[in-house]
Amino acid sequence: MQAMRARQDRLVVGRIAPKQVSRAVLALVAVLVSVACGVEAPKPTMDATRLRLVPTTVAAAEYARELVGPEDFAALPEQVEQWSARDFQSPPWGSLPRFARFAAEPLFEHRPNVVVCNAWQASETVAVLRAAGVRVVVLPAALRHEDIEANLDLLGRELGREEQARAAKQRLRERVLALRARVRVGWRAIAYTNDGVGGTASGEGTTIRTIMELAGLVDASGVRGHAVVDFETLLARDPDVFVVGAPSTDERGATEALLLATPALANLRAVRTRRIVVLPVDLYSTDSPTIIDAAELLATRIAELDGGAARDGGGERDDKR
């Protein structure tokens, strides 16, 4: 589940259409000639009168939205409609053109002067865009809220929106401080996904772990990254609470249903006490500023469990583990 939105974000790399080949090839030739002659190639410049920004992933769109308004977007990846925690369907966002693939052809059609993408996306497409004079901002992976602030700084500098980036960071810091003031480190938790064909826990080095920590939970998975875990491992770890994801159209989801219906797991304290917190998948797997949204929702739902016992560090615990 943690990787689900990332998989949806990885827009298929397509070929360049013939009508775009000449533009891309000429641009590449110009760059190569400049380098061969020892002349520094000119850097892409933005239109001083209008920003035409195209983010190529859900995360990139959510970052850009922190700094600029809908009038500055030229197009959006179609994945924002299903996988973003932000509303990109209501006016005026809903009227922006959509594209399906991270490839030069569909991007050139929207005449961007800035493209914002993620570091894992195809370097070939990035090279073609830059050679054609498009400014490309590549956002590194963000696992913690400090990484999000660094990406906001980077994007603010590239877009000439440093003041907006500072304001966005301040808003996030205030929300993190508010979270820390209302939660206390307490329950041991495992972020778990199981669609019926195998279970996966998400631990160190994942955004869902950061979300759990911000919400006052302690990762009990004992794994790094997203690792396959069997029922024996869950029984040995015996967490106080499970954190699972589900589509927004399904309040429970397959993982929660499996945990509650599997006889072998019936004695797990989280199952016995029904401490299973469901997050919408767009928040469960987020890697953008909406990490804070996810932590806020998780903290609220943890506090609601067992009459607020989680907030006070109470509930059924076993300190012998």
Residues 13 and 130 in one domain: yes
Domain ends where: 143, 177, 211?
177
Q: Is the pLDDT of residue 263 over 80?
A: yes
Categorize the per-residue pLDDT at 186 as very low, low, confident or very high, splitting at 50, 70 and 90: confident
Res 315: pLDDT: 47
Higher-confidence residue of 122 and 193: namely 193
Residues 194 and 149 in one domain: no
Q: Tokens representing 116?
A: 């914002």
Contacts of 160 (CB under 8 A, 6+ apart): 46
Token pair 């409609």 in the structure block, residue:
81
Q: How far apart are CA 127 and CA 179, in angstroms?
A: 41
Domain ends where: 140, 155, 177?
177
Q: How far apart are CA 303 and CA 298, in angstroms?
A: 9
Domain ends where: 160, 177, 194?
177
1-5, 63-67, 149-153, 254-258: segment of lowest average pLDDT: 1-5
The number of residues in the chain equals: 321
Contacts of 39 (CB under 8 A, 6+ apart): none
Domain count, the chain: 2
Q: Is the pLDDT of residue 226 over 90?
A: yes
Q: Is the pLDDT of residue 279 over 80?
A: yes
Higher-confidence residue of 31 and 104: namely 104
Residues 60 and 201 in one domain: no
Residues 211 and 260 in one domain: yes
Higher-confidence residue of 174 and 305: namely 174
Res 49: pLDDT: 56
Helix (H, G, I), strand (E, B) or coil at 201: strand
Q: How far apart are CA 146 and CA 173, in angstroms?
A: 10
Q: Is the pLDDT of residue 1 over 90?
A: no
Categorize the per-residue pLDDT at 250 as very low, low, confident or very high, splitting at 50, 70 and 90: low
112-121, 183-192, 255-264, 275-284: segment of lowest average pLDDT: 183-192
Res 87: pLDDT: 95
Segment 139-155 shows an average pLDDT of 95
CATH code: domain of residue 151 = 3.40.50.1980
Higher-confidence residue of 28 and 165: namely 165
Segment 122-138 shows an average pLDDT of 94
Q: Residue 159 domain-assigned?
A: yes
Res 113: pLDDT: 96
pLDDT in tens, 2-49: 445 443 444 433 333 444 444 444 444 444 444 344 434 334 444 445
Higher-confidence residue of 44 and 286: namely 286
Segment 59-84 shows an average pLDDT of 96
Res 305: pLDDT: 87
33-37, 145-149, 258-262, 281-285: segment of lowest average pLDDT: 33-37
Residues 162 and 233 in one domain: no
Question: Residues of 157-180 as b/e, b for ≥16 C-beta within 10 angstroms?
Answer: ebbebeebbeebbeebeebbeebe
Q: Is the pLDDT of residue 209 over 70?
A: yes
Q: Residue 319 domain-assigned?
A: no
Is the C-alpha dihedral spanning 64, 70, 76, 82 positive or negative?
A: positive
Q: How far apart are CA 56 and CA 120, in angstroms?
A: 11
Mean pLDDT (the chain, rounded): 84
Q: Is the pLDDT of residue 145 over 60?
A: yes
Res 15: pLDDT: 34
Segment 278-287 shows an average pLDDT of 93
Categorize the per-residue pLDDT at 306 as very low, low, confident or very high, splitting at 50, 70 and 90: low
Q: Residue 205 domain-assigned?
A: yes
Q: Tokens representing 277?
A: 């917190």
Note down the domain range covering 52. Answer: 4-177
Q: Residue 15 domain-assigned?
A: yes
Q: Tokens representing 114?
A: 């800035």
Q: Is the pLDDT of residue 307 over 80?
A: no
